[in-house]
Amino acid sequence: MAERVYLDWNATAPLRPAARAAMATAMDAVGNPSSVHAEGRAARAILEQARECVAAAVGAQPRDVIFTSGGSEANATALSRAVEHAGRGCDAAIASAIEHVSVLAGGDFSAVTRFDAGPDGVASIAALQEALDAAVAKGAKAPLVALMLANNETGAIQPVRPAADLVHAAGGLLHVDAVQALGKMPFDIKDLGADLVAVSAHKIGGPMGVGALVLGGEQVNVRGSRFGGGQERNRRGGTENLIGIAGFGAAVAEAMRDRDGENQRLLALRQRLEQGLRAIAPETIIFGGHVPRVANTLQFAVRGIRAQTALIALDLAGIAVSSGSACSSGTMKFSEVVRAMGYPLEVAEGAVRLSMGWGTSETDIDRFLDAWRTLAQPLLKTREIAA
């Protein structure tokens, strides 16, 4: 039997050998990173080395990296009342309609005002300005705005810097979910104008269950942990996940070292995919196909083919893909991102996401296209007969 083809790297990437090795080394560390004896200091050294790797990857200072249990916790923390701007909390929450569910859930805010994205999958700066104006008119003095850097479904890169300028002019903070951008595109927290940035380990070949919230400067802080303990500079209580953090640091270092060359390779594979899909069905919709995207991601749909049918058939053919975010696609719902882009329900119900990584080959792409052709052509022929 042929090996399975894995095209769901945005959900989680395989563990990198370097991350596995770093975790194995950390497993032998006896001390608690908060202890002052030699064993504790050795554990602390592992922790701080990983912190430096994460900080360097996003252009931040190591002291501004707060380790979390993953990207979702980092997003939820950013939308919490613990976040302060120049000593005061934020008083309104605004987010693009294409954000991850962990952002749209709102954290500590009772409601999140959403601003639209266009059919190209890019959030509207004009809509953000309207949302900010409305919040200020209602008395908001420090709105918190969330705008991701690269969308987790379409891969579309968002206008973060222009958004930051608008948010700061309104006296607010900008939180950037960079979970799908880390290791896939260059960015610097200062150049983005971001006040908070969320990243995750398992999207780049680190272990599941670890991520970070990175602060953008001295004017932003996360005050006192809710859970006690003085870890992470009193910003997140609980003994740090040393083994996971060690793996995170190693994965970040390797992802950054290979990033540019790997992106060129993945871009060529994505172009091969798009050409193949359109050869099978010229009416294929490539979401965000005309705007800059991270190289590894492709989301598409063909009217008349439901994602639920496609995912099951492809899985039986030995190919793993998804219909959208791994945090919501287990329910086999339609893509909320595609709906937010203004597409009708029948299109959203057909959205299929392919995402690639360092282990993806041309053979994998060709096997997917063969399986898609086998699935799609009879369904499309049936549709033509019915029409």
The residues facing 83 across adjacent strands are 222
Cβ atoms within 10 Å, residue 289? 16
What DSSP assignment string belongs to 120-158? TS-B-HHHHHHHHHHHHHTT-SSEEEE--SB-TTT-BBP
Distance CA 117, CA 339 (A): 10
Print burial letters for 18-51: b (CB count within 10 Å at least 16), e (below 16). Answer: bbbebbeebeebebbbeeeeeebeebbebbebbb
Catalytic annotation present for 53: no
Pick the catalytic residue: 327, 342, 359, 374?
327
Distances (CA, A) of 60 to 65, 89, 130, 161: 8, 22, 31, 16
* H or E, element range at 308: helix 307-316
Q: Are 245 and 50 in contact (CB under 8 A)?
A: yes
Q: Are 181 and 259 in contact (CB under 8 A)?
A: no
State both tokens at 286. Answer: 């490539």
Question: Which residues carry out catalysis?
Answer: 327
